[in-house]
């Protein structure tokens, strides 16, 4: 495991970050012994450190009891922190980009959102509690994530034989759920290509199967950064719309052509015109 961690830190995209993340993790771990810290990512991955073996030599294949009983080393915690940070930044960036695209394409919806922001905040600095209570903003972001969820698919492994509509999924089979297709299934989403935030009112959500909407996955392995991603996306939208409006231009690609890959990206970027309010 140590060689894998070292190799990751030495890759070009992470060059120069090794000492920063190692120092941050080391300082946090030392501080755990002298102060009361709220439950967070570091706490979760270290909570069993006092009762488990942290030796590098105890590595074992995934699935074995030995593997699950070994605590993470400091280097492993640092690398996982780096991955947690970079993955959350990338996917949130995608969500903000497509949010801007939808604002430009649907000016009536943008105006309605601006009205909510102006009535709620005006030019005041947005706070967590205020932003997370903004109803139309929540509907808007939910609809953006339906059509443009950053992760196009999620993966699971069957823990036992399961029969669904006469189809047998055997134990240990790899199962892929295509989120992109699910979010455009007319069985759950009438006129699926139409951008309509009202799909996510409490009344409309109650009529729909809860597993029809999976931008962050579902169940015990739901995205650990979901709340942070939603907060970051909403904060960015509020900050931008307090000062600017988005408008399509000659270079705006409609519809967007997507890259091929696991993450949903615009192949040619998203080009918009920004005007000051």
**Whole-number Å distance between alpha carbons of 131 and 21:** 30
Longest Cα–Cα distance of the chain, Å, equals: 62
Identify whether 112 is part of a domain: yes
**Whole-number Å distance between alpha carbons of 1 and 19:** 19
Token pair recorded at residue 32: 């755990």
What is the span of the domain harbouring residue 114? 84-276
- Closest to 121 in 3D by CA, of 111, 110, 131: 131
Same domain, 142 and 35: no
Phi/psi zone of residue 25: left (φ > 0), alpha (ψ -120 to 50 degrees), beta?
A: alpha
Same domain, 100 and 58: no
> Is residue 43 a contact partner of residue 37, using CB atoms and an 8 Å limit?
yes
Is the CA virtual torsion 149, 153, 159, 164 positive or negative?
positive
**Residue 61, pLDDT score:** 47
**Residue 36, pLDDT score:** 59
Same domain, 55 and 118: no
Specify the residue for token string 């947005």: 126
Token pair recorded at residue 86: 């970079």
Domain count, the chain: 2
**Residue 18, pLDDT score:** 66
Q: What is the CATH number of the domain that holds 199?
A: 1.10.630.10
**Whole-number Å distance between alpha carbons of 1 and 42:** 19
> Is residue 22 a contact partner of residue 5, using CB atoms and an 8 Å limit?
no
Same domain, 56 and 97: no
Specify the residue for token string 């996510």: 200
Is the CA virtual torsion 146, 151, 153, 158 positive or negative?
negative
Token pair recorded at residue 50: 């006092």
**Whole-number Å distance between alpha carbons of 111 and 210:** 29
Identify whether 77 is part of a domain: no
Q: How many alpha carbons fall within 13 Å on the CB side of residue 186?
A: 3
Say what the pTM is.
Answer: 0.75
Domain boundary among 72, 101, 119: 72
**Residue 68, pLDDT score:** 54
Q: Is 223 annotated as a binding residue?
A: yes
Same domain, 186 and 269: yes
What's the chain's length in residues?
277
Query: pLDDT tens track of the chain, all 277 residues?
Result: 344 445 444 544 445 566 777 777 777 777 765 555 555 666 766 665 444 554 444 444 444 444 455 677 777 777 777 777 766 777 899 999 999 999 999 999 999 999 999 999 998 999 999 999 999 999 999 999 999 999 999 999 999 999 988 899 999 999 999 999 999 999 999 999 999 999 999 999 999 999 999 999 988 888 877 888 899 999 999 999 999 999 999 999 999 999 988 889 999 999 999 999 8
- Closest to 150 in 3D by CA, of 189, 191, 179: 179
Question: What φ, ψ does residue 150 adopt, rounded to 5°?
Answer: -55, -40
**SS3 of the chain: helix, strand, coil, percent, to 5:** 50, 10, 40
**Residue 204, pLDDT score:** 97
Identify whether 29 is part of a domain: yes
């Amino acid at each position: 495991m140590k060689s894998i961690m070292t190799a990751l830190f030495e890759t070009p995209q992470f060059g120069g970050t090794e000492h920063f993340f190692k120092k941050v993790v080391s300082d946090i771990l030392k501080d755990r012994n002298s102060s009361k810290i709220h439950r967070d990512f570091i706490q979760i991955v270290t909570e069993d450190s006092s009762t488990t073996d942290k030796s590098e030599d105890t590595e074992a294949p995934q699935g074995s009891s030995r593997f699950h009983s070994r605590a993470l080393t400091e280097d492993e915690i640092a690398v996982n922190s780096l991955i947690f940070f970079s993955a959350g930044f990338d996917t949130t960036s995608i969500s903000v980009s497509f949010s801007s695209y939808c604002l430009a394409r649907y000016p009536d919806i943008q105006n309605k959102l601006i009205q909510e922001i102006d009535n709620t905040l005006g030019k005041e600095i947005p706070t967590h509690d205020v932003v997370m209570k903004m109803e139309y903003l929540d509907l808007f972001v939910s609809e953006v994530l339906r059509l443009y969820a950053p992760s196009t698919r999620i993966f699971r492994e069957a823990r036992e034989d399961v029969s669904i509509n006469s189809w047998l999924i055997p134990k240990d089979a790899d199962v892929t759920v295509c989120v992109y297709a699910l979010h455009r299934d007319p069985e759950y989403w009438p006129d699926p290509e139409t951008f309509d935030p009202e799909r996510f009112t409490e009344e409309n959500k109650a009529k729909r199967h809860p597993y029809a909407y999976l931008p962050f996955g579902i169940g015990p392995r739901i995205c650990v950064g979901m709340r942070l991603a939603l907060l970051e996306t909403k904060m960015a939208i509020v900050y931008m719309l307090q000062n600017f409006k988005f408008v399509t231009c000659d270079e705006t690609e409609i519809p967007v052509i997507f890259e091929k890959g696991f993450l949903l990206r615009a192949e040619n970027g998203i080009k918009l015109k920004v005007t000051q309010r």
